[in-house]
Chain A
C-alpha cells in the first residue's frame, strides 16, 4: 500500500462537531480516522465507555455511521454475530468493535479472546486511555505503573498488561498498535486490517487530558511523546511477523529515545512519582522493547 497523504483523505465528517466529548478528547480523533480510513463500509459496535457519551443524546447521534451500543462484556460476540449475518446475506461491511481498555482488557477480555481464537471476521480496536475514564478515572489493567487514579491514590503498584503481545499469541492474522498522534499510520493499519479476513486487533494509544491531568491542547503532543520516549511502540504483525512501524523505528536505538521524564512531567497523574519509580518505568521501557524485538 502506498503511504497515505492527508490531502487524499475523504473530507466527509463521520464525527459531528459539537458532540459532548471533553476538550482534547482522543476518542473523537480516533473515531474520525476510522471514518477517513473505511468510510461507509463500517458498522460500529460500542460497549459501555466514553464513546457512549460522545454519541450524544438519542434520538440524535454524533457519529454518522451505524452504531450499535452493547453491554460491556459483549462487544466482540455481538460483532461476530453481525459479521456472520452480513456474510449470510452477502452484504459488504467492515464490523468494527470500538472498545476502551476496560471493555478490552478487563471485563471484556474473555469475549475478546474467544472471538480472536474463533477467527471471527471483525476488527477490534482497543482505544486505550489507560483507565476507566467514563466512570471517573479508576485504574484498569492497562493503567501504567505509578499512575494516579481515583482507585490508586498513591500511584498504581502493578504493571500495564501487555495486551498487544497477548493478542499476538492468539496467532491471529493481524495485530497492530497505533496512536491518535499518528493518524496516517493508524489509517493505513485500519485499511490493511479491513483487507484481511479473520480477527484483527489494533491497540490505539489515546492520551486523555481529563484522566491524565494535562492541558487539552496537548493530546497529540503527549501521544507523540509516548512514541518518542519509547513508552509506546508502534508496530504491526501480519500473520505473526512483527515489523516495527516507521514512526517508531528510530527508537529501537535506546539513545535516540527522549528521556521518559519529558512524557511524565506533563501529566498530573504522575505528579507524585518518585525517582526510584521513574527508574523502574525506564527499565520497563527497555524490557518492552527487548521483548518485542525478539518477535521481529
Chain B
C-alpha cells in the first residue's frame, strides 16, 4: 500500500462513518511503516488496530478494507449505510425548531403569565400551530432550569464527609503540626446514569417531538445518559442528542435511519436492547420508557424483558402520554403486562407532567 493510497483509505473509512481523524491517519502511516517490511500479510491487522476505536468499527473494518482494495475507492460520496436510500425524515423534525420569527416572539412576551400557565398544562397533541414556537421556548427554558436544579442539589449536599488528612496537615503546618483545624472532603456524588427508550411509532408521533426535547434536556444533566428510539426496531441516538444545541441534534436525527411513525413492537425492541446494550445498565441507572403501551407483539415477551431490565437497574419509570386523558385506564395488553415491572408510572402529555419527573430523578 502506498502512502497516497493509505490516505485515500482513511478518507474512505471516514466516509463510511469511522471517527478516524488526522491523528489516526498519521498513526496508521507509522504502523504501516513498522510492519510493511517485516510482514506484508500483517498490514491489514496493523491498520485495523490503528484506525479502529470501537467494536462497531472493528466489525466493519474487514469488509471495508476488502471493498477498498477491490476498487470501490472512489465511491466516497455514497450514503453512509449501504443499501439505505435517503432516509425518510420525521415530519415534526423537518421544521427548524427553536427559530422564532420576531412577530411570534413579541406575541410571546405580550401574552404573559396566564399564557405561561396555559402552555405548561396543554396536552402536546392539542397544541395549535400558532402556539408551537412559544411552547418550544417555554419547554427549553423550563427543562434547562430543571437540569440546572438537579445539578445544584447535588453540589449543596449538606453532609460532612471524612477528614481530608492531606489538606489538614498542609493547613496546620504553620502552627507547628498540631492538628487544630480539620479539613473535610465530601464524597463526590456522581449523578447516576439514565437510559431512555423513546417510542416513535405512529401512535406516539404527536408526542415524540416534545419527548425528544425532554431527552435532550436530560442529556445535558446526565453525562452518562443514553437514548434509544424504537418502533419496530431499536436505534441508538444518544450520540446525536449530546450536541449542545437542540437544533443541531434534531438535524442529525432527521438523517437517522430509524423507522419513524412505524408500527410498535415494544417487547422485541426491549429484547434487542437487552441482548445488545444490557451492559449500559447498572445499579445506579434510572431506566425511562416513553411509550403509550400500544404493542402489537407478544405481551409475555414485554413482561419478561422488562423484568430482566428491572433486576439490573435502580428504578424503571414508564411515562405514558395517554395518562393525561381523564378516562384512560392502562388496560391495553402491553401496558397491563408491563405495569407489574414498573416502579413509577406517570403521565407525559404536558410540560407540567414532564417537570414533575424531577422528583424521581434526584439522587
Q: Do A and B bind each other?
A: no
By a beta-carbon cutoff of 8 Å, the part of chain B in contact with chain A is: none
